[in-house]
Structure 1
Amino acid sequence: MSQADGTTPFTRRSLLKASAVGTSALAVPSLLGACSSSGSDSGSGSDNTNGKAPLELPADATDGPTYPSPYVGPRARDLKPFGDGSTTFKIVVPTDATVVGSWANNKATAYFEKLTGVKIQFQEVLTTASDGSTDLTKVNAILSSGDLPDAFMGIPLTQAQVSLYGQQGAFTAVDDLIKVYAPAARKMFEEVPGLRALNASSDNKLYQMPGVNDCYHCRSSQGRAWINKEYMDKVGGQMPTTTEELRQLLLEFQGKNPSGKSGFLPFTAGQGNPLDNYFMQSFLYSPPGSNTGGWLRLNQGKVELTARLDEWREALKYLNQLNKDGLLTAQAFSMTGAELQQAGNTGRVGFSRSYWWGSFFNPVPLDANALWRDYVAVPPVKGPSGVNYSQWDYYSYSTGPGGGLVITSKCTKPEVLVQWADYMYDLRSIMWAYDGIYESNWWWGDKDQKGINGKGALFRDKQWPAPAGMSWNQYAPMYRSIDFRGGQQVDPKAPTFEAGLWAAGEAYKPFAEPQDMQLPPLIIPDDSAATQADIATSVYQAVSVGLSNFSLGKKDPNNDADWQAYVAQFDAMKVQDYLDIYQKAYDTRPK
C-alpha cells in the first residue's frame, strides 16, 4: 500500500509526515508467527478488555488553568498513577540529540513514569538522513527482524505502512481498547469527529493512538504571499484585491524602488515556494503538488487534475504577463532559500510568494522593530472571473503515525499502553511533553492576559523548543486543538510571530474552498502503488516544466498549439489511470 494525499504539508513546525511509498517490499511474513503474544490473532485488542467497564474522565484538576470561553480541547485533570511497575515496556522512538537528548535521562520521562506508574525503556533509532529527509532504514530492519518492541512512538511511518502491518498482524488494533481504557481519546474523537477516519486503515481498524496538532495558520500556509506595507505606503498603494491591482502595485515597486537599495526585488518566489500555490487560486481552486502526487481536487465527488483545466491556462496567461512586465523572471523558479533570506535580511524584497517570514528572513528576531514585521499577508486576490480561493487545508490537524503511538502484537499488555497514551492527551501532559518542566519553561496563563487568538490566555512559555533534555519535542500522542494553540499567551513587551501568523490565518479563512473540493489523505492499494508513483513523477515533471515554460515565455499560453501539446502529455502518460486509482481509493476510504 502507498499513502498519497494530494497535498504536501510544509509548515514552520512541520509534522513528521513521510513521502508516499510502496510498502510491499517491506512486508514480512515472519511477523505473524513471531509476534502474537497478545493472544489476539486479529490484532483487535478485544481480548484485553476482560469485560471491564469503561474508564471515565477524572474531574478537572483544581490547580489547572483558567479556560477561555468557549474552549474545545485538552483539560488538566486529576490523574492518578494506574501502573504497578511490574512490566517494563520497550518503545522505539526517534533519536533527537538537540531537543530530547537521552530519552532515559529526560526530565519528561521521569515525570511521566511518576504520573502513570508505568516503566518505559526507550530504544532510540535514527529516522532522519543527513539531508533532513525521512530515513526509516533502521525502523524497517526492526520490522523485518520479527523482534518487535512493544510500541513505536513518534516514528514517521506512513499511514499505508501502518495499515499493511496492522492487517498482517504486526500491529494491534486499538478500537476496543479505547472504548474501555481511553476516556480522553474518546473525548478527543467526539470533539474532532473526522480524526478517526483520517487515521483508520483500509480495513477500517485503528492501529494507532493518533494525535491532533491543529495549527490554525498552517491551514493556509502553503498558499500565502506577503508584502512590505511600508513600501506599499511609500508608493501610495493599497492592499490589492484583484490580480490587476496586484500587477499595478508590483509595477509601482519596480518603477519607484521604495527600498532605496540596489538589487531591490519587487517580486520574489523560488525553490520551495511554488507560484501556483498562490496565483492559481485567483482562477480556480488547485491544491499543492509534488513528485509524490498532487494538483488533484474533487469536483462533485469526482477526482480531477487541475493542471490541465482551462482555468489553469488563464492563470498561466497572467503569470506570462508578469514576465512580459519584467516582474516575474527565471529567478522566481531558481532562487534558493538562502538567496531569498539574504534579500529579505537586507530589505530588498517587495512582495514574496512564501509560506511565512522565515522563508525570506533568517533569523526572525523578536525585537519590536525587526524588519520582518513590515511584511503582512496578502489575502487571495480576485481573478477576472471573480475567483479567489486560499488553498485551505482541512485535514492538516492530524499528526498521523509520526505524532502517535503504534502498539505491536509483541505487547502482552496493550491495554496498559493504551491507557498510558491516553494520559498524554491531558493538558498538563501535553505541556510537559511539548514544553518541558512546569514553572521552569512554562506556566498557566495569567488571568488578565490574552492568547494569540484574542481570548483569555491558557498558558505561557519561555522558549520553544524547550531546553535540551527537558521535553519530548512533538513525538508523543497529543491533543493540541485550535483553542489550545490559540491560548498561548502574548506578551506585548516581547511579541513573537505567533500572533501575526494567527492573523494571517484569519485573513485567509474567508476564502477557503468548500471542504468537499479538497481530496483527503488516501491509502493507495499496494497493487496500484507502483503505477501511482510512476505517473505522479511524470505529472510532476510535466506540470513543473509547463509552469516555468509558459510563465517565462518559452511557450505561449495564448497559443492553442502550445497549450494542446502540453495537455496531450497527460493523455500520453495515462493520467486517466492515475485518476481512476485515486477515485477508487476515495470511494472506498474509511468513513
Structure 2
Amino acid sequence: MQSKEFKPLQLDRRAFVRAAGIGAAGLAVPGALAACSTEGSGPEKPEGIENVEQKQLGAETPGVIYPDGYVGPRASQKEPFGDPSKSFKVVVQVDAEDVGDWSTNKFSAWLEKRTGVKIEFVQVMVTGTDGSVDMTKINAMLASNELPDAFLNIPFTSDQVSLYGQQGLFVALQDYIETYAPEARRMRQEYPDFDALNRAQDGNTYWFRGINDCFHCRVSPGRAFVNQKYLDAVGAKIPTTTEELRTVLKALKDNDPTPGKNIIPFGASLTNPLDRFVMNAFLYNPGGDRNGGWLRLNDGKVEFVADKPEWREGLRFLRTLYDDGTLPKTSFTMPQEALLKAGNTGRFGVMRGYWWGSFMDLEYKEDALWHDYVPVPPLKGPGGVQYAAWDHYGYASGNLVITSKCSNPEILVQWADAQMELEAVMGAYGGIKDDNWGWAKEGDTAINGKQAVWYSVEFPAPTGTSWDQHSVMYRSNDFRLGQWVDPKQPTFEKDLYEASLVYEPHQQPKEMQLPPLLFDESSAAQKADTAAAIELAVKEHLAKFSTGELDVNDDAAWDAYVAKFETMGMPAYLEIYQQAYDNRPK
C-alpha cells in the first residue's frame, strides 16, 4: 500500500510535447501571445509595487515549539484581506479520493475564512487512463479567450511556464512577491537557491512555487536494501565496497537462506534500475530516463557519463556478478507484478529499490517482512569512488500561476502566501486541527531526534478535509523531520529517514550536479527526441554488456556502443544543455 508521498506526478515525453506546444501539433495560442524574444536577463532585483507598503509577517502564534536552529514555516496570525464581493476562478486538479469536492472541502472553507478570499474552483482532470498527465483540457483553456484567474498545482513544466510567461499569458510575480508575500520572502532567504531556479529565461518569476524538501527523496532513486536476517544466516556483514558486495552475493547464492530456497541474490527491475546505485562506485552517475539524464558537470562543462571509461569498468563489475550467477537477466527486465511476487515471498537478498514498497506490499506490523531489509550504503569502488547521487535541487513543489485575465493579482499572491504559514501548511496537509493533527508538546521527540513541532494522526487525511499536497506549501526539511511519531501509530517517514542517513555523507559535490534548466521550444523538441534515443541505448547496452550478450572487454563492441551516441546527435545534445546551463537565471 504505497503512500501518495512516493508517487510524484511525471510528464512522459508524449504529454510534454502535447502540453508544451512542440512540433506541428503544438498548442495554438491567440495572436496576442505570439512568440517573443528571450534575450535579456530581466530584472536584477524585485522592486516591489510602487506606493504600496510592504506586507510583514504577523505575530507568532503562541504554544508552538520549535527546535534550536529550525528552518521552515512558522505559525503566525493573519488578518483577512479579501473583498467579499469579489471571487476568483482558479483551476485545480480533480482529486475525488482525498480532496473530494473542492468547493465543499473543509480546508477550502477554513482558508476562505482566514483570508477573506472567495474562490470559484474549476475542477479539471489532468490524468489519463494510463496514469500519465493529460493536459488536453488545460491546453484548450490556454488556447481560448476564456482563461481562469489562476491555475493551482497544475503540472506545467518549467519550460511551459517560462514560455507562456514571456508570451504574456502568465503574470510576472516578483514585484508582487516582494510587496505582498512575507512568507515567500522568508522561504527564499532560508533556501537561497530557490529564487534563481524558478525564474524564466527573461529573469522574471511567473509562478508562485512552494517547497517540499523530502530528505529521503534526495537519494531514494539510488538506494539499495539487503535482508539482514539472510546476512546473519550466512555469516556475512552489510557490504561497503564492490568487492564485499560480490562476496556477500556469492555467499547468499551458495548458502540460500530463503524459505523457498529460490533466492535472487541481486534484484532490480525496469522501474528500479541498477545503474544509479552500482555505477556511483566508479563515477558520479545521476541516472536518467526518457526525459534526459546521465549528465554531470565537470568544472562547469556538461558531460555525458554513460560512455566514460569508468562506466565501462562498472559494466565489467556487473559482468562478474552475472558470471558468478548472482545477477540474473531478469534484473534488467522484471515487470512490477513479478517484482512484487518475488518480494512478497522474500526471494531478494539485495534489492535496488526506491523504498520497501517498490518491491513488496507493505503493512506497518512489527513482524512484517520489510523490516528485515536494511539499507546498503554507497559502495566504494576499486578506485576509491563512493557517491550517493544526492539530489541537491529536487525540492520545488505546488505552484500557483496567475493569468493575464486576473484583475487583482496582488490578492491571489497574498492568498498563495497565506498557504505557506505553518497552520495553513498543516491544514492543507492534515485537515482539521485537533482531529487529525496538532502541535507537539515539549519533550516530544521528532523523526530527527530533536524537539517535535507537530503530530499527525492519519495521512492522507479523511476525504474532504484537506488539499492533500495540492497547496502552495512550505514543507522544509526541518518541518518534515519535525513530526512527532506516536510509537503506537508509527509511520514510514521515520524508517525512511533512518534508511537515508548512511547515504548523506557520500553525496557528490553540489557543483557536479546539473541543476534544473530551461529550454526554448526548438531546443526542447530536439532534446526530447535525443533523450528518448539515449535512454534506449543506455538501458539496452547496460543489460547486454552485463549479461554477456556483448563482450565488455571487446574494444570493437565498446567503440560501437560509444559511436551510437555520436550518431544520435550527442554533440548537439550536449551543446543544448551547455547553452541552457550557461544562460540560466542566476
Please classify the TM superposition score into its range, dividing by the shorter chain length: over 0.9
Name 1:533's counterpart in structure 2.
528
Match of 1:585 among 560, 564, 580: 580
Name 2:304's counterpart in structure 1.
305
Name 2:126's counterpart in structure 1.
127
Q: What does 1:477-488 align with in structure 2 at a 5 Å threshold?
A: 477-488=472-483
Q: What per-residue deviation string (whole Å, max 9, x for no partner) do you get for residues 248-303 of structure 1?
A: 10111111111232422221101100110100000000111111211011011000
CA contact (8 A) 2:151 2:402 kept: yes
Considering only aligned residues, what root-mean-square deviation do their CA atoms show, in Å? Answer: 1.9
Q: What per-residue deviation string (whole Å, max 9, x for no partner) do you get for residues 96-153 of structure 1?
A: 0111110001001000000100100000001111111111111111101121100000
- Report the secondary structure of 2:74's partner residue: coil
Structure 2 unaligned spans of 5+: 35-41
Supply the distance in 2 between the matched residues of 1:277 and 1:267 (Cα, whole angstroms): 14
- Report the secondary structure of 1:298's partner residue: strand
Supply the distance in 2 between the matched residues of 1:113 and 1:189 (Cα, whole angstroms): 25
Name 1:87's counterpart in structure 2.
86
Name 1:466's counterpart in structure 2.
461
CA contact (8 A) 1:43 1:173 kept: no
Structure 1 unaligned spans of 5+: 1-9, 35-41
CA contact (8 A) 2:453 2:482 kept: yes
Q: CA deviation at 1:426?
A: 0.3
Supply the distance in 1 between the matched residues of 2:453 and 2:391 (Cα, whole angstroms): 25
2:96 is aligned with 1:101? no
Name 1:388's counterpart in structure 2.
386
Name 2:403's counterpart in structure 1.
408
Change (3 A) 1:233 1:473: same
Change (3 A) 1:159 1:33: closer
2:219 is aligned with 1:226? no
Out of 264-273 and 296-305, give the one that drifted further: 264-273
Supply the distance in 1 between the matched residues of 2:546 and 2:78 (Cα, whole angstroms): 59
Q: CA deviation at 1:409?
A: 0.7
CA contact (8 A) 2:33 2:169 kept: no
Change (3 A) 1:102 1:31: farther
2:518 is aligned with 1:519? no
CA contact (8 A) 1:118 1:420 kept: yes
Q: CA deviation at 1:346?
A: 1.8
Name 2:357's counterpart in structure 1.
358
- Report the secondary structure of 1:211's partner residue: strand
Change (3 A) 1:376 1:297: same
Q: What does 1:85-484 align with in structure 2 at a 5 Å threshold?
A: 85-362=84-361, 364-399=362-397, 403-484=398-479
Q: CA deviation at 1:495?
A: 2.5
Q: What per-residue deviation string (whole Å, max 9, x for no partner) do you get for residues 433-488 of structure 1?
A: 11111111111123222111111111111111111111111111011000000011
- Report the secondary structure of 2:518's partner residue: strand
Supply the distance in 1 between the matched residues of 2:506 and 2:453 (Cα, whole angstroms): 29
CA contact (8 A) 1:368 1:495 kept: no
Q: CA deviation at 1:176?
A: 0.5
Count of residues in Structure 1 that have an aligned counterpart in Structure 2: 569
Q: What per-residue deviation string (whole Å, max 9, x for no partner) do you get for residues 163-220 of structure 1?
A: 1111111100110111111011100000011111111111110011111000001000
2:495 is aligned with 1:493? no
What amino acid does structure 2 have at the position aligned with 1:551?
S
Change (3 A) 1:33 1:531: closer
Q: CA deviation at 1:17?
A: 4.4
CA contact (8 A) 1:271 1:333 kept: yes
Change (3 A) 1:320 1:355: same
Out of 380-389 and 441-450, give the one that drifted further: 441-450
What amino acid does structure 2 have at the position aligned with 1:459?
W
Supply the distance in 1 between the matched residues of 2:160 and 2:85 (Cα, whole angstroms): 32
CA contact (8 A) 1:525 1:585 kept: no
Supply the distance in 1 between the matched residues of 2:431 and 2:519 (Cα, whole angstroms): 38
Q: CA deviation at 1:28?
A: 4.2
Name 2:37's counterpart in structure 1.
none
Supply the distance in 2 between the matched residues of 1:84 and 1:229 (Cα, whole angstroms): 60
Change (3 A) 1:118 1:12: closer
What amino acid does structure 1 have at the position aligned with 2:390?
W
Q: CA deviation at 1:19?
A: 4.2
Change (3 A) 1:31 1:183: farther
Supply the distance in 2 between the matched residues of 1:542 and 1:33 (Cα, whole angstroms): 38
Out of 344-353 and 390-399, give the one that drifted further: 344-353
Change (3 A) 1:378 1:33: closer
- Report the secondary structure of 2:502's partner residue: helix
Q: CA deviation at 1:530?
A: 2.2
Supply the distance in 1 between the matched residues of 2:290 and 2:450 (Cα, whole angstroms): 41
What amino acid does structure 1 have at the position aligned with 2:255?
K
Q: CA deviation at 1:313?
A: 0.2
Out of 175-184 and 490-499, give the one that drifted further: 490-499
Q: CA deviation at 1:12?
A: 4.7
CA contact (8 A) 1:380 1:511 kept: yes
Q: Which has the higher contact order (CA 8 A, sep 6+)?
A: 1
